[in-house]
Amino acid sequence: MTYIAKPKFHHPGLKKNELGYTHRDYEGKISTLCAGCGHDSITASIIEACYELSIEPHRVAKISGIGCSSKTPDYFLGNSHGFNSVHGRMPSVLTGANLANRDLIYLGVSGDGDSASIGFGQFAHSIRRGVNMTYIVENNGVYGLTKGQFSATADRGSKSKKGVTNTDNAIDLVAIALQLGATFVARSFSGDKSQLVPLIAAAIGHKGASFIDVISPCIAFNNHAGSTKSFDYVREHNDAVNRLDVLVGRDPIAVDYAPGTVQMVDQHDGSRIALRKIDADYDPHDRLGAMTFLQKHAAKGQIVTGLLYVDPDAEDLHEHLNTVEVPLNTLEADTLCPGSTALDKFNASLR
């Protein structure tokens, strides 16, 4: 809001990252969401992940649709360009932006109404095209901004704040993303920052379509008994298959892992993911296995979280289209326009 100014000064001793930026350099405007909103924790996690990765803030483009979740890009990365676009249409806008400049980092922020209802098609197609992006759904099972109607991710049998039971089946965006070929798929919980921050960092490092479904309770309309997206419910049913650390190339983080407990994943951007297994049988490189695992656990009412699938050798849309290495938005008439000689030849072929 124009009338809420955020003070710019900060403690001189604030820690700086490799580029010399502090946390504050990754912050945005003051959030206008409800106090205690899960979305604000996700905002904080994005800030943390970008700080940890030492990303230049202006090299990120943050794009969203419409809704509470889609307002959040205003609350982080104040030096990045943001685009609060059209309801359900973040994926297409992001796809276009990505085509124009392949060198930026694309962060798509959406909600369950935005991605599972009005924008379900766009969600699906951006995933199947392999757009190089980090697509975060801040999933609370309700329409917050219009005061608590069920969304398409609300579980069948869950109760609204007004006591209405949802009779429609839920859409599991993680299952869909897996089926559509997303090459990085994760689920997390806004109340578990230690899991969420490295997941966001790993997703940013991944080349290809990264999707993270973050269960993010709506404090105002979906945090009551009978809800399956409340803080209490998610804490009780959270079944994490792994936890991870993201190791950035030059940063010699000395982490000692007991042998056999950690699986290393090399990422395209040079970072490495150290996966600490919680469920010994879970293999995050097995797409089919992941799909079965998720279905089985969902049937038991468990919410599986963690890095669920990753293909470190994925290709993205630019590779599919064989586009030039330089961003298309830097090309000028000298390389784009075939010129009058070519046109004369073209004319001659039409006589």
Between CA 38 and CA 47 the distance in angstroms is: 15
Contacts with another protein in 130-159 (CB under 8 A)?
Answer: none
Between CA 205 and CA 266 the distance in angstroms is: 10
Q: Is 347 in the site for another protein (CB under 8 A)?
A: yes
Q: Is 7 in the site for another protein (CB under 8 A)?
A: no
CB–CB of 170/140 below 8 Å? no
In whole angstroms, the minimum distance from the beta carbon of 120 to another protein comes to 11
89 or 287: CB nearest another protein? 89
In whole angstroms, the minimum distance from the beta carbon of 86 to another protein comes to 6
Contacts with another protein in 302-331 (CB under 8 A)?
Answer: 317-318, 321-325, 328-329, 331
95 or 110: CB nearest another protein? 95
In whole angstroms, the minimum distance from the beta carbon of 320 to another protein comes to 10
CB–CB of 247/241 below 8 Å? no
Its sign, for the CA torsion 210, 215, 221, 227, is: positive
- Which range binds another protein by CB under 8 A, 58-66, 172-180, 219-227, 248-256? 58-66
Interface characters, 27-56, with another protein (x: CB under 8 A): -----------------------------x
CB–CB of 237/270 below 8 Å? no
Q: How is residue 252 written in tokens? A: 């010699």
CB–CB of 209/127 below 8 Å? yes
Q: Is 338 in the site for another protein (CB under 8 A)?
A: yes
Between CA 66 and CA 195 the distance in angstroms is: 26
CB–CB of 201/188 below 8 Å? no
**Inter-CA distances, 324 with 97, 101, 329, 330, Å:** 15, 11, 11, 11
Nearest to 241 by CA among 155, 158, 174: 174
List the one residue from 122, 195, 210, 242 that touches another protein (CB under 8 A): 122
Interface characters, 62-101, with another protein (x: CB under 8 A): -x---------xx---xxxxxxxxx--x-xxxxxxxxxxx
Q: Is 104 in the site for another protein (CB under 8 A)?
A: yes
251 or 344: CB nearest another protein? 344
In whole angstroms, the minimum distance from the beta carbon of 214 to another protein comes to 22
Q: Is 335 in the site for another protein (CB under 8 A)?
A: yes
Q: Total residues at the site for another protein (CB under 8 A)?
A: 63
- The one-letter code for the residue type at 174 is V
Nearest to 164 by CA among 118, 117, 222, 229: 222
103 or 232: CB nearest another protein? 103
> Would you call 96 exposed, middle or buried from its count of C-beta atoms within 10 A (0-12, 13-18, 19+)?
exposed
Between CA 206 and CA 219 the distance in angstroms is: 32
Q: Is 120 in the site for another protein (CB under 8 A)?
A: no
Q: Please report, as ranges, the residues that interact with another protein according to CB under 8 A.
A: 1-2, 56-59, 61, 63, 73-74, 78-86, 89, 91-101, 103-104, 121-122, 124-125, 129, 317-318, 321-325, 328-329, 331-333, 335-340, 342-344, 346-347, 350-351
